Homo-oligomer: A and B are copies of this chain.
Amino acid sequence: MACENALQQLLARSICFSANRLRDAMEYGLLNGGKRLRGSLVLAAARMVTGDTVDNNQALRTAAAIECLHAYSLIHDDLPAMDNANTRRGKPSCHKVFGEATAILAGDALQTMAFDILADSKTHDDATIRVQLIGQLAKSSGLEGMAGGQMLDLEAEGRSFGLVETKEMQMMKTGALITCAVLSGGIVAGANSSLLSAQASFAKNLGLAFQIADDLLDYKGDATLLGKPAGQDALRGKAGFVALMGHQGAAVEAKRLIDDANMILEPWKRSAEYMQSLAKFAIIRKT
């Protein structure tokens, strides 16, 4: 896949002759058979502007940056002090292979790499576009986005979050980066404001539906397919969407959100097909 190749090339270019162990751990966390949903969303959003199916280097680099950011978050989430997950996508998690210290550093350096990729003129020749991508990625992944959401998620263990709080927390933890992926694809490809606005509404629905699907997978999921133990939410006393809405209610809500999301893109129907298929995939996936 194009996104996969872009990531491989970027890490190869970053070869540092001395800190090879760190580079290996970054590669392990980055190239481990993920779904690349976020990277694909960048490409799909860009294709809504460029209209073709050949992804240009600018969109690919933007996709790679967001996948680096996502990979960092997974490595750190798996750490013993966080979710203490021994496996990820059916393989030992990064700290199980490289040790905790190296895994912490690998996550750190992958975050840095995401911003490094976006700051490079190869990502876009217009610096105003690059700082827009960087600012957006920072806002969606920091205190008020992903990291803040992860903090709330950790605090949610054993506390009783209601539906409103759970939605807010998940929009920060997962939704913000998914929205960032969609908007980044639009921005790097030069989308006009009406398309960007539609993409933002689409992404908000998608982000929530994605997390509901995640909770459903955790509830009824197959550990072999998931590549990690299922039923973790209940075990930790976390009030996920399944506990709050019932598993049928959650499934209905996820489908409604995706139907609404895809309806928002109907005016761009001709070029939105790939994007709409990704939205459908987000709630029927098995992993």
Q: Which A residues contact B (CB, under 8 angstroms)?
A: 14, 16, 18-19, 21-23, 26, 72, 76, 79, 81-82, 99-102, 104-105, 107-109, 111-113, 115-116, 118-121, 127-128, 130-131, 134-135, 137-139, 141-144, 147-152, 154-155, 168-169, 172
In the complex, which residues of chain B have a beta carbon less than 8 angstroms from the beta carbon of A168? 18
A-B contacts, 25 of them at CB < 8 A, read A14-B142, A14-B144, A16-B144, A18-B148, A18-B169, A19-B148, A19-B172, A21-B155, A22-B148, A22-B151, A76-B108, A102-B154, A105-B151, A107-B108, A108-B111, A109-B142, A112-B142, A112-B147, A113-B138, A115-B115, A118-B134, A119-B138, A127-B127, A131-B131, A134-B134
10 closest pairs, A vs B, by CB?
Answer: A19-B148, A81-B100, A112-B142, A116-B138, A119-B135, A127-B127, A22-B151, A109-B147, A119-B134, A127-B128
- Closest-by-CB residue of B relative to A168 is B18
16 extra interchain contacts, Cβ-Cβ under 8 A, other than A81-B99, A127-B131?
A: A76-B108, A81-B100, A102-B151, A102-B154, A105-B147, A108-B111, A109-B147, A111-B112, A113-B138, A113-B142, A115-B137, A116-B135, A116-B138, A119-B138, A121-B131, A127-B128
